[in-house]
A and B are shown apart, each in its own frame.
Chain A
């Protein structure tokens, strides 16, 4: 299975702090994506990083990918209470379906 596995399962931080969550997977991939889900809502795409890329930025988000370790990290800088959500990584291979991990539940305390 190429299942992504996020770590930690849950994370609580204070507003203004940085939040880091990790994703590990088992097989080679074409790209890895991070999604956010607010409680009881659909998922929202945050960022996609391709297998030949090592780092991408989008606003306060920074994603890294280490294909040798089969792992990725999502960093949210200067967190806000509105960042409270579950974050999922999804791995993709050409011609195959996404595989989502179980997610990291982030709580940002005001």
Chain B
């Protein structure tokens, strides 16, 4: 248990569906992240939020829409996905955002949502 939870753990959806992934962190951290992990590819950063403000959007297609209503919760809204979007979606959080200071920027990951788009 890292203190970061994600629901659902598994999701199967059609290309016309709309669904949302939820992430909650119980660590009192200020920054939260969405990552995509596809088979045989490095982890790819999708979005970064700091104190509920989006600070990075890594050229992610608009069919992925993040929402951060407060510093403990992060959502990823999905609509009209493609089969190539099938992957493990990981949420992470960290105390600080700036890497290279105290180690407080260490990111802790949730268990992930395994998404299959048919």
Is A bound to B?
no
